[in-house]
Structure formats: C-alpha cells, structure tokens
Amino acid sequence: MIDLIETGAELLVDAFRRPITYLRVSVTDRCNLRCVYCMPEAGLPWIPKPEILSYEEITAIVRAAASIGVRSIRLTGGEPLIRRDLARLVGMIAAVPGIDDVALSTNGLLLAEQAPALAAAGLHRVNVSLDTLDDARFTAIARRPGLAKTLAGIDAALAHGLTPVKLNCVLMRGTNDDELEAFAALTRERAVHVRFIEVMPVEENVALQRDAWISSDEVLARLRALGALREVPNPHGNGPARTFAYDDAPGTVGVISPLAHDYCERCNRVRLTADGRLRLCLFGDNHIDLRTPLRAGKGEHAIVEMLRASMHVKPERHHLRLGETASAMRAFSEIGG
C-alpha cells in the first residue's frame, strides 16, 4: 500500500471534513433486468458506446484517486457483468498501488459462470440484488426470469471466496414484504448478509415508492419480533447499513435507510459514471467531467487536481423526501456498499 504520510500526499477530504476513500465505478448503464423500482420496462436511453470509458481510462482515474487516499473500489452498472471480460478490469484495478478492496454489485444472473475468473483476477467480494425467493415473483419484479441463476451465482460467490456475500433486498409493501421473515431465516442457515433497503424515488417510480415504502424502523421491529438481535459491525465494507445478528447465526441482517435515517454525515464516497462523470452525490446533479480532459491527454496530476477541486462542490447531504424524485438517479443498484 502507498504510504501517504511518507510521500506527503494530501488525502481527499471534502469541505465537511469527510475523508473520501471509496469510489464506485459504473462500467455500463445497461442492464439485463427491468426491475419495477429501477427503470421502465422498455429500458432507458443508453449511453452511446464511444462515450463509455475504456478499461484503461477507468484504471487511470482509479490510479489518480488511489494516490490521494481512495482505497476501495466497487464496480457497478447497470449490470456490470454484461460488460465483456470484466475480469480483465478487475485485475487492472487490483494491481493499482493503494487499492486494497475491489468489490462488485450485481444481480447475479451471470455470476456463476464468471465467479472463478473474477476471483482469480483479484475481486474480493460481491453484493447481489435479491428481492424475492419466489420464482414467479422474481419474474414479476424484475420483468425477466432468473431466480435460479441468481441463486446459483450466490452459491458460486460463496464457493470461490467472494465474501462476505451481501444480499440487497428492496422491500416493498404489498409486493415482497411478506418474505422478510424468510430472508431473516437465511442468515441463520448460511453466511450471507441480508440488507433491507428502503425503496427510493427514481424518475420512473415515484408513485410506486410513495405507496410501497417501508421505513427501516418498521423493518427492525419486525426482525426483532423473530428473536433477540444484537448490533454487530458491518461485515467488511464501506456501506451505510446498520447491521444486526441473531444468536448463533452465521449471517447478519441489516437496514439501509436513506430516507428514514439518512447517512450523509458518514458519506465517504463518490461515483464515476460509465461515461466518465464524477458524481459527488448519488441523489444530486453535481458532477465533474473527467472523460474530456483524460481523452485530451491530461495526465494523472491533472486528474488528481480535478478530484481535489471537486471536493468544494460535494454537497453536505441529499434532500430527498418521500414521494419526490431524484432526477439524477438512474440505477437503484447504486444504493448500498
């Protein structure tokens, strides 16, 4: 790891004295599912291919970020596993001095076949989106079949040491909240870490979000009704979950509550979009174009200076409210760490 004190490097810190150590990298905006809380069934206007960052361009930005204190990288989408040869990018990022954690957020459909190569390339762990354990309900929520493939992907992640395996469940009243107990039971049987996420307002789901939203307080009350819970550390990660465990359970349950109890004061992240914009808040419009200077031949020093300058415009917090849209948010998979 780079010794930043020894080299005299100035760490990346925003205007509110929050160290930024975590970079989420969207490798594609495309997805092979059409989840009802995330996007319309017909999909979205996709970013043209020439505007998508190459693996070499992504790695150059990661290298610049690592030189000033970023330590954790999470690859996201859309669905990142639909981008060809993602293991090659994992290997390139894992080789960057200073990066000590490379994670992946995925819907799991392609994970079983890619897990061996990803693990060999240096991927450490995965988050898998899983909103239901019922096959027909999976198809209804995702508007595509695939539960068996997702479950196989979870098994493959555990088998290849991509742990801790975290399962992200978007809980929706009247849709899948009757499965909360079944998901909690999973953590008593397997070393999986289920996090229940409040459904968030995106451009296409404001009415759904208003009607389906369940607060994390209600979720925790229902979890406690199943047995004594003790609060435990968030298993290896930079995510915002409050995490708990049942006695003798190998896994954990957690809640992520950007509306009921936001976690902005602990924010340690920025996000690189697939087309090279540095997003400073998931729910805001603040962004910095890194692709243009990169393709104009600007080197690492210039990117470092742009990263530092961006900290002056990173907002203190989001201002989401129940039933209001976050116009800049396109991919629900960005929630959670």
- Taking domain 4-334, whether its CATH number is 3.20.20.70 is answered by yes
What's the pLDDT score for residue 181?
A: 96
Backbone angles phi, psi at 93, to 5 degrees: -70, -40
Q: What are the CA-CA distances from residue 204 to residues 37, 41, 141, 328 (Å)?
A: 8, 10, 14, 12
**What is the residue-wise DSSP string for 70-131?**
--EEEEESS-GGGSTTHHHHHHHHHTSTT--EEEEEE-STTHHHHHHHHHHHT--EEEEE--
What's the pLDDT score for residue 2?
A: 39
What's the pLDDT score for residue 208?
A: 57
Distance CA 91, CA 217 (A): 40
What's the pLDDT score for residue 45?
A: 85
* pLDDT by position in tens, the chain (length 337): 334 433 445 789 988 888 999 999 999 999 999 988 888 777 778 999 999 999 999 999 999 999 999 999 999 999 999 999 999 999 999 999 999 999 999 999 999 999 999 999 999 999 999 999 999 999 999 999 999 999 999 999 999 999 999 999 999 999 999 999 999 999 999 999 999 998 765 555 455 556 788 988 999 999 999 999 999 998 876 667 899 999 999 999 999 876 544 566 677 889 999 999 999 887 667 789 999 999 999 999 999 999 999 988 887 765 555 444 444 444 444 545 5
Give the angle subtended at the CA of 267 by the CAs of 55 and 33, to the nearest 5°. 50
pTM: 0.89
- Name the H helices within the chain: 4-7, 55-66, 86-94, 111-121, 135-142, 147-159, 180-189, 206-212, 216-224, 291-295, 300-310
Distance CA 293, CA 313 (A): 19
Distance CA 101, CA 145 (A): 32
What's the pLDDT score for residue 282?
A: 73
Q: Are strands 277-279 and 269-272 parallel, antiparallel or unpaired?
A: antiparallel
The one-character DSSP state at 53 is P
Residue 64 and residue 303 in contact, taking contact as beta carbons nearer than 8 Å = yes
What's the pLDDT score for residue 173?
A: 92
What's the pLDDT score for residue 306?
A: 95
What's the pLDDT score for residue 297?
A: 96
What's the pLDDT score for residue 283?
A: 65
Residue 128 has a CB neighbour count (10 Å cut-off) of: 23
Give residue limits of the domains in the chain. 4-334
Among the listed residues 174, 173, 222, 167, the one whose alpha carbon sits nearest the alpha carbon of residue 196: 167
Q: What are the CA-CA distances from residue 198 to residues 17, 47, 214, 262, 270 (Å)?
A: 27, 28, 6, 11, 21
Q: How many residues does the chain have?
A: 337
Distance CA 41, CA 20 (A): 35
Distance CA 153, CA 111 (A): 5
